[in-house]
Structure 1
Amino acid sequence: MERRGFMGKRERLNAFQLFNYGWFVLFTLICVFPFYYLFINTISNNDLSSRGLVLFYPLDIHLTNYANVFKLPGLGLAAVVSLSRTVIGTALTVFSSAFLGYLFTKNEMWGRKFWYRFLIITMYFNAGLIPWYLTMLNLGLVNNFLVYILPAIVSPFFIILVKTFIESTPAALQESAQIDGAGYWVIFTKIILPLSMPILATISIFAAVGQWNSFTDTLFLVTNQKLFSLQFILYRYMNEATSLAQLMRQTSGAVNIDLTNMATPTSIRTTVSMVVVTPILLVYPFFQRFFVKGIMIGAVKG
């Protein structure tokens, strides 16, 4: 009887594992399919793609769309702007979050409770779009590359995560360093930063994705084409896909151009989307392993 009960329990466990694996495989396919759908439409017959006939596998494969998209004006400069704001903005955001999170763990910090509550309040209230624009204008950040960097340096959510993470580390490490004569800066750089790498890697990917995907700041605050970000270029090209497709046909000298390679609004939208989203997709897997550990340890505890 005991053996039969054990076998029945084992069969139920195997059935649950099979269902669990099947569900996660299905969920993964649902998440991956939109990117796969975009990709197969970028390399398929443009006429079939525009008519919605490319669904599960590419048809009449070609790479003309990518060659045409990389010729679009302003795309290369926009990529440099987006890469620069992502690297610089992420580095400064992570450093400030780590340092402020460390300071908020110190009872001797002047006005610690007041400043911490003031920081949290900013997560729930904002003045609105017009006051935000006027503030940026008065600070001289309109048509300024620093508009991509300075407003994002202090992030309350990231600071809270780092603060909670540091509070979960053994206090004896900092106390022993203080006994040896180490100051706050030495403790922060030699002890806190190495211990906080999981949470810092987590907020790094959050900040990087936020910087890379942002386009509203460009939309409202930037008119200088040299400062346009890649996402804003995507936004503009998505809205102008029809006229761009006509322009590409004209520049191709195209009276009897093959419909397979002829640019269409659909081909423009899908190809530009793939070009913009691919870099962050390539970076994401390298930081993914830090996610669970960083978020679980740095989570706000009740």
Structure 2
Amino acid sequence: MNVRKSSAGSTVFQLLNYAFFGLFTLSCVFPFYYLFINTISDNNLSATGYITFYPRGIHFDNYLEVLKIKGLGTAAFVSLYRTVVGTVLTVGASAFLGYLFTKKEMWGRQTSYRFVIVTLYFSAGLIPWYITMHNLHLTNNYLAYVLPSIISPFNIILVKTFIESLPPALEESASIDGAGYARVFWSIVLPLSAPILATITIFSAVYQWNAFIDTAFLMTDTKYYTLQYLLYRYLNEANSLANLIKSTQDFNSLNLQNMQTPTSVRMTVTMIVVFPILFIYPFFQRYFVKGILIGAVKG
């Protein structure tokens, strides 16, 4: 009898558990679904808020027209450049420094580590940052997107903690066989650190792809604009942008429902910017939870 009650209670708990996480998942997915159906629906209905659960008057002219906007291709290349190069440099530096900070024989290890960690708590501020970047000639310079982010204290802490959780016997056996620090790092530590490296890859890629404040302050030449900065400008100038797109369209061949509106411009450009991260994340997701858990177990 007790077994039946326990089994029934367990079943109810499982159903409630599935229902809760199902609703939670739906609440996470629905904003992206809502955004997408509004980009392919009748623009007039979308602007007035009639599109909520399913698309109406389906068309793809919004994407075709937004992709014709001047400078969009260049901005996409700049964002891709900073995401790929910046992420590779950040992950590489975080892995190497995290490994070095686990070595007690490293000269000045504690002092160097404290200098890195203190930057998590204190910042010079916007004006000193701009003056420094200007004096280093990093205005209107692609290097401004990747150099400042190479050293990431939070990522270094995660990697250091993860490496400290690895069995010391692995490094000791390699050292006995004559392997140096570089060989141990490249052949043993780096392959075993795949979960935490995948985790900080996600962190770095999302940061680099979404960043636009540095563009606003440091870049005056349009060829250095990122896709996200263009999105920021479009969101602030959606009315004029919609009118600009309308002025280039052939009204004799275009249906009225497909004419651009400020709402369609905002949602379409947002969807274009968000899609790459949504596409890449599933490939790293299986490493993400394991990496962040192991990397945060010890301080």
TM-score (norm 2): 0.98
Q: Give, as a single letter, the amino acid of the residue that structure 2 aligns with 1:212.
A: W
Q: Give, as a single letter, the amino acid of the residue that structure 1 aligns with 2:189.
A: I
Separation of aligned partners in 1, 2:248 and 2:76: 23
Unaligned runs of at least 5 residues, structure 1: none
| 2:171 corresponding residue in structure 1 | 174
Q: Is the 8 A contact 1:161 1:300 kept in 2?
A: no
Cα distance, 1:258 vs. partner? 3.1
Q: Give, as a single letter, the amino acid of the residue that structure 2 aligns with 1:188.
A: F
Cα distance, 1:300 vs. partner? 4.2
SS in structure 1 at match of 2:88: helix
Aligned counterparts, 1:201-220, within 5 A: 201-220=198-217
Spell out, residue by residue over 1:111-168, the C-alpha distance to the aligned partner (whole angstroms, 9 max, x if none): 1111111111100100110001111111111110001100000000000000000000
Cα distance, 1:254 vs. partner? 3.1
| 1:115 corresponding residue in structure 2 | 112
Q: Give, as a single letter, the amino acid of the residue that structure 1 aligns with 2:142.
A: F
Identity of aligned residues (%): 64
Separation of aligned partners in 2, 1:44 and 1:18: 36
Separation of aligned partners in 2, 1:27 and 1:222: 40
Which of 14, 38, 45 aligns to 2:35? It is 38
| 1:269 corresponding residue in structure 2 | 266
Residue 71, structure 1, aligned to residue 76, structure 2: no
Cα distance, 1:251 vs. partner? 1.1
Separation of aligned partners in 2, 1:299 and 1:229: 33
| 2:277 corresponding residue in structure 1 | 280
Q: Is the 8 A contact 1:160 1:300 kept in 2?
A: no
Q: Give, as a single letter, the amino acid of the residue that structure 1 aligns with 2:143.
A: L
| 1:299 corresponding residue in structure 2 | 296
| 1:190 corresponding residue in structure 2 | 187
| 2:137 corresponding residue in structure 1 | 140
Cα distance, 1:247 vs. partner? 1.2
Residue 46 to residue 287, structure 1, CA distance change in 2 (3 Å):
same
| 1:23 corresponding residue in structure 2 | 20
Which of 153, 161, 167 aligns to 2:150? It is 153
TM-score (norm 1): 0.97
Q: Give, as a single letter, the amino acid of the residue that structure 2 aligns with 1:77.
A: T
The alignment's C-alpha RMSD in Å is 1.1
SS in structure 2 at match of 1:130: helix
